[in-house]
Amino acid sequence: MKVIRKYQYQDLMKDDFIDERDRRMRQRLVKFYTPVDLPKQKLLLEQVYELISQRNTDFQSSFLVTPPSLLDTGNNSENDDGAIQIIYKNYATLYFTFIVDEQESELAILDLIQTFVEALDRCFTEVNELDLIFNWQTLESILEEVIQGGMVIETDISKIVGSVDDLNKASETSANTISSGISGAIQAFAQGGFAQWATGQ
Amino acid sequence: MTSLYAPSAEDVMQRLRPYGFFFEKSLKDLIRGIRSHNDTPEQLEMFLEAQLSECRKEANSSNMELKTNAILKLTYLEMYGYDMSWCNFHILEVMSSNKLQQKRVGYLAASQSFHKDADVLMLATNLLKKDLKYANSNDVFKVGIALSGLSTIVTPELAKDIVDDLFLMLNSSRPYIRKKTVTALYKVFLEYPEALQSNFDNFTSKLEDPDKSVVSATISVICELSKKNPAPFIRLSPLLYEILIDIDDNWIIIRLLKLFTNLSKIEPKLKGRLLPKIIELMDSTNAASVLYEAVNCIISGNMLDETDYDVAVQCLEILHNFCNSQDSNLRYISCVLFYKIGKINTNFISQYDELIMKLISDVDISIRLKAIELLRGIVSEDNLRLIVSTLVKQFVGDEVAIVETSRGVSKEIPIVIPETYKIKIVDVILYICAMDNYANVDDFEWYNAVLYDLTIVSLDLNENKLGTKIGEQLRNLMIRVPDIRNITIVNIIKITSLESVEIKLPSILEGCLWSLGEYSTYLENGDALLRLLLKKAPHMQYTTQSTTIIALVKLFITWCNRNQDQAVQIKAILEKLVNFLSGLNYSKSFEVQEISLQMYEILKLSLEALEEQADGFPLLLSEVIPSFFNSYELTPISLGTQRQLPKGIDFDIDLPFLTNEQLDEVLKGQESLAEEDTDIYDSDRFSLASVEHNFISNADYSDGSSDSDGGKEHFDDTYKDFIDESCEVEHKKEMLSNPFYLGNINDTNNNNKVKDILDIGDDTKEDSINSADIMKLSKDHAELKSQVEAKKKKNKMKKKTKMKVLSDQVIVIPGVTDSVKLNGRKKHVSPSNSLLSNKINLKKHTKLEDYNFDNSKNDNDEEIQELEKLRSKFQNQNLDNVKMDDNNNEEEVIVIKKKKKKKSKKDVPSKKSKKDHKSTETTPEVSAEPLIDNAKSE
């Protein structure tokens, strides 16, 4: 799961990847763009999973109409467009779930999920759940090219994949050039005074 | 699908190790470990704990690789709920690594764990400033990472420090950097709105950026900002309008429509320009998502007035098509918009009754849930029955099965009807039937039957609110539709006698019991009902019990007065009653205790009187107690009337309620009464009445309340027993301005009503007797059937004439405004809001919302003044805090230095060409189903 859009508020994003085999939730990627305490995060995930798993994606819409009790969706406020929405899409055994505010278009978020999945597919070539399980860090880096701090920054799949590739290449290069003196570099690492202080604790 | 863009094996390999292959193994090992220890939660937890302590050791290691590795694993484990803020300083260390992949890990971890740690955030500021500079082409990525990180961990201080650097980067030659900067600036503006004000043009010039991604990001940011504070962006409207005309990217169009929605809400003049363009867009686009957002923009942007029938029809036609689509997502969101249009003017949607009827039987319950809200827009006298029967059938649940799956094979999947939906159904049925004072109900026998069905359904729904609502409906029917009181009361008896209704749906009883008591004159065999209630009452809730006590007394009084000759039975029942009340004298509920005590004392006296007075019927039972309840007929009044009663009006407390003559009369009948608390007030009314001989059979004043406010009416039930100031005032007033009843008007009424019952035929009487018997036998199905048959018979004969429904009386009390009642109502709302505080609120309040872009000058003045104050304060403290000051200075110096550096190195050679090669388009394909519509920027 992941993402959610919006920035700020909640934009929590989360994708929940849910393992259907034993009906227990297994999250593959969770990302919140609005700070939420860990215990509440966990509870929220469980509630969202519970609600989504009761639905039948064959004929039900991708919108979670009954919000989890934990979430203040703003539905009670006087203007009803202050609402938080939970939008999900099901691919095989995975559910990609976004929790977004009303500034996001419902259909556009569904497209965004599709974009994200296509980007994953492009990166992994025929992505499957195992890929996602073992390449969590790849998910994170792809997501980072799609959503930054809760805002969607790119919806063009080629650009997304391109950025991921570039970044990886640059990482490797820098690793190779500097890693010759790896042990020395570590010792010399203490450039910031605070770093010294932190290790010294 | 692989062959389509055929990446080399090397390419793929490379993509899969974004944080460097060095770490891959150990994170993979961790994931593998999690999978192999996943049999039980306990096993998993043990494994994770072991891993955590290992990570803790590794994080403390001086080996950077090991440390980074540990941080990466911890970041992963956070997903499992393990807090990692304890290692924030280690994260900071990793972030400051020279190596890009270590830096990536550090920033990733920071974005998850820094947000609450003020100390670390302060330290991170310097690091961020450093990382946001680039010296060579490789630094593009370093800067990119830092910008992403900044977007998640920005604080007001950080925002202030960093904003100048960011504005410089807006001019970077790399679109990648520009779009990330634009997005990062959004978070900065939230924390530090002044930056937006002083660089407004600089920032908004990015709307004209040659790169589409940058434009898109800028529009997104402005859209978000305008949600919080639309005013400053109004002047961008012409430019945004141009973009809307020129652009062909659906994603951007949707964002623009959202943005215009925000602007149009505060600037109605935009409508004239925008609306034609949006309608044009609706005609020209094929994308459902754009169509939908266009309609949404018109509605949410307040561009649809009550009178804009043309536009409304155009929007509704689009939604109509969506609602008929196979795509449940389209159907759902269209339903929501339908509702919003209906809220603007119900007439817009009233012709779509067919569609809405179809939607309330949609396969997707969530769509039904929305469609059902629309019913109030289309309901009429003609279709009410159809709607209600459609909805009631859904309770049965086996209607459930027919579903076609998308794969061409039709499968039968039972539709699960969730409880929330059932509750909603009951709620909506009650609402649409009762709306406009029952304007759509042409047959109240039918409505009674519906209420009975709803009660049966609600028994299993576990939602007390429904009971209250149904109870209120029954009570309303009793009060407002006098012509069918004898039918309604049978229904109420049936409901009250349902097995375990007092446990499963206790809230319904309050309305029921009140009605039974108040209209006890309609009942022939009150004794049977009394016995039943006495049996049920001990199991009731406290609130119901206090209503029950009064109802019991009313029932008893009515019944015994009608059967004065049956002294033995009366005594038996009275003894039971007294027994029952004495049991409640020790109730845990104060309210119950108080009422039961009062009634207990009075009834005990009556019992004694009955025993002493073998020859006649005691005055206490025949006159005094009835006068408590029967002095006035209740009529509905509008909500809040009671609250408008003026308070603190003077009245003469010394004026005796009874003249000596009257007193003698009372005493003549029952001497023992005089000393006790025979509510003087009521006796007064009784005697006044008999003095004036003013018989009026139809009361037209209002008494207290009888309207739908539960608590209020409970008050009505009981108020006669208390000499309460406001009651007193109210009644005095009534006496002055209104005709009133005599104490024994009751008898005349009785005669009429008994006649009524006889007129209608024997079966009514039988019904009530049957029902009463049923209670005793606790439900005999054969009996029930006979009742239903009797009912059917009646239905056939029913006359089509519309029954008279009493409507609320509006009583205007001079000098009291409506605001009183509004205030009263608002108070009810607030507690539910405060309950929400425990929940996760994803909407954070930011400074931007409060920031006033116009008044900034004044703000600045104030700020300067404040600053001056602070300065002088600091000067005083200076001597004590020399050290601190030094620190501050140091920091400032650093800031200045950095700014200089930034400016000096304007630009960087780009890797643009390389990137462009990479991003040549290939047709993407995915294992999953195709989208309804593409709003992507491809």
Q: Does B403 touch chain A (CB under 8 A)?
A: yes
Put simply, the answer to whether B935 touches A111 (Cβ < 8 Å) is yes
Q: Does B76 touch chain A (CB under 8 A)?
A: yes
Q: Which helix (H) or strand (E) holds B403?
A: strand B402-404
Put simply, the answer to whether A6 touches B300 (Cβ < 8 Å) is no
The C-alpha of B777 sits at a distance from chain A's nearest C-alpha, in angstroms, of 42
Q: Please provide residue B902's backbone torsions phi and psi, each rounded to the nearest 5 degrees.
A: -55, -45
pLDDT above 90 coverage of chain B, percent:
4
Which one of B8, B843, B934, B938 would you mutate to disrupt binding with A, by most A Cβ within 10 Å of its Cβ? B843
pLDDT of the residue at B744: 34
Q: Does B69 touch chain A (CB under 8 A)?
A: no
Query: Running DSSP on this structure, what letter comes out for residue B79?
Result: T
Cα gap A150→A3, rounded to integer Å? 8
Kindly indicate the confidence band of residue B920, based on its pLDDT and cuts at 50, 70 and 90.
very low
Which residue would you say has higher pLDDT here, A20 or B241? B241
The C-alpha of B929 sits at a distance from chain A's nearest C-alpha, in angstroms, of 8
pLDDT at B218 over 90: yes
pLDDT of the residue at B270: 85
Judged by average pLDDT, the poorest of B81-85, B108-112, B396-400 is: B396-400
Put simply, the answer to whether A71 touches B927 (Cβ < 8 Å) is no
Helical spans, DSSP H, in B192-326: 193-198, 200-204, 212-228, 237-246, 250-266, 270-284, 288-300, 309-323
In chain B, residues 447-506 whose CB comes closer than 8 Å to chain A: none
Judged by average pLDDT, the poorest of B163-172, B298-307, B526-535, B774-783 is: B774-783
Per residue, the 3-state secondary structure of A59-88, as one string, reads: CCCCEECCCCCCEECCCCCCCCCCCCEEEE
Burial B735-773 (b: 16+ CB within 10 A, else e): eeeeebbbbbbbeeebeebeeebeeeeebbbebbebbbe
Put simply, the answer to whether A103 touches B369 (Cβ < 8 Å) is no
Residues in chain B with CB shorter than 8 Å from the CB of A167 are: 18, 104, 141, 144-145
Neighbouring-strand partners of residue B402? B412
Which one of A36, A52, A55, A59 would you mutate to disrupt binding with B, by most B Cβ within 10 Å of its Cβ? A59
pLDDT at B901 over 90: no
The C-alpha of B519 sits at a distance from chain A's nearest C-alpha, in angstroms, of 39
Q: What is the dihedral of CA B377, B381, B383, B387, to 10 degrees?
A: 70
Q: Which residue of B has its CA nearest to A115?
A: B936
Neighbouring-strand partners of residue B404? B410
Put simply, the answer to whether A168 touches B115 (Cβ < 8 Å) is no
Amino acid symbol at B162: I
pLDDT at B702 over 90: no
pLDDT at B241 over 80: yes
Q: Does B935 touch chain A (CB under 8 A)?
A: yes
Put simply, the answer to whether B842 touches A71 (Cβ < 8 Å) is yes
Mean pLDDT of B553-560: 86
Contact assessment for residue B429 and residue B391, using Cβ atoms and an 8 Å cutoff: yes
Which one of A90, A137, A176, A199 would you mutate to disrupt binding with B, by most B Cβ within 10 Å of its Cβ? A137
Other CB atoms closer than 10 Å to residue B894's CB: what's the count?
Answer: 15
Q: Which of B144, B150, B924 lies nearest to residue A118, judging by beta carbons?
A: B924
The C-alpha of A78 sits at a distance from chain B's nearest C-alpha, in angstroms, of 11
pLDDT of the residue at B404: 56
Q: Does B925 touch chain A (CB under 8 A)?
A: yes
- Give the dihedral sign, CA B810/B811/B815/B820: negative
Cα gap B344→B366, rounded to integer Å? 23
The C-alpha of B90 sits at a distance from chain A's nearest C-alpha, in angstroms, of 7
Angle at B858 between CA B854 and CA B864, to 5 degrees: 135
pLDDT of the residue at B802: 59
Q: Which of B138, B151, B915 lies nearest to residue A173, judging by beta carbons?
A: B138
* Segments making up each domain of chain B, as ranges: 419-797
Q: Which one of 3.40.50.2000, 3.30.450.60, 3.40.50.2300, 3.40.50.720 gives the CATH number of domain A12-171? A: 3.30.450.60
The C-alpha of A129 sits at a distance from chain B's nearest C-alpha, in angstroms, of 12
Q: Which residue of B has its CA nearest to A117?
A: B926
In chain B, residues 197-226 whose CB comes closer than 8 Å to chain A: 213, 216-217, 220-221, 223-224
In chain B, residues 290-349 whose CB comes closer than 8 Å to chain A: 292-293, 296, 300, 328-329, 331-333, 340
Which one of B69, B73, B180, B842 would you mutate to disrupt binding with A, by most A Cβ within 10 Å of its Cβ? B842
Q: Which residue of A has its CA nearest to B83?
A: A38
pLDDT of the residue at A82: 52
pLDDT of the residue at B462: 77
Mean pLDDT of B208-233: 90
* Segments making up each domain of chain A, as ranges: 12-171
Most confident among A172-186, B11-25, B487-501 (mean pLDDT) = B487-501
The C-alpha of A174 sits at a distance from chain B's nearest C-alpha, in angstroms, of 6
Q: Kindly report the average pLDDT of chain B as a whole number.
A: 72
User: pLDDT, tens digit, for every residue of B41-50?
Assistant: 888 888 888 8
pLDDT at A95 over 70: yes
pLDDT of the residue at B641: 76
Put simply, the answer to whether A27 touches B138 (Cβ < 8 Å) is no
Helical spans, DSSP H, in B563-642: 567-584, 590-612, 619, 625-629
Residues in chain B with CB shorter than 8 Å from the CB of A22 are: none
Put simply, the answer to whether B18 touches A137 (Cβ < 8 Å) is yes
Put simply, the answer to whether A59 touches B292 (Cβ < 8 Å) is no
Q: Which residue of A has its CA nearest to B843?
A: A9
Put simply, the answer to whether A192 touches B138 (Cβ < 8 Å) is no
Cα gap B676→B666, rounded to integer Å? 13
Q: Which of A27, A144, A169 lies nearest to residue B79, judging by beta carbons?
A: A27
The C-alpha of A108 sits at a distance from chain B's nearest C-alpha, in angstroms, of 6
Judged by average pLDDT, the poorest of A56-70, B655-669, B690-704 is: B690-704
Q: Which of B1, B16, B179 lies nearest to residue A138, judging by beta carbons?
A: B16
Residues in chain A with CB shorter than 8 Å from the CB of B326 are: none
Q: Which of B254, B329, B840 lies nearest to residue A36, judging by beta carbons?
A: B840
Contact assessment for residue B178 and residue B214, using Cβ atoms and an 8 Å cutoff: yes
pLDDT above 70 coverage of chain B, percent:
66
How many interchain CB pairs under 8 A, A with B? 349
Q: Which of B14, B144, B926 lies nearest to residue A121, judging by beta carbons?
A: B926
Mean pLDDT of A77-81: 44
pLDDT of the residue at B25: 55
Q: Using N-to-C axis directions, what is the helix angle for B660-669 and B680-692, rounded to 10°?
A: 110
Residues in chain A with CB shorter than 8 Å from the CB of B846 are: 8
pLDDT at B448 over 60: yes
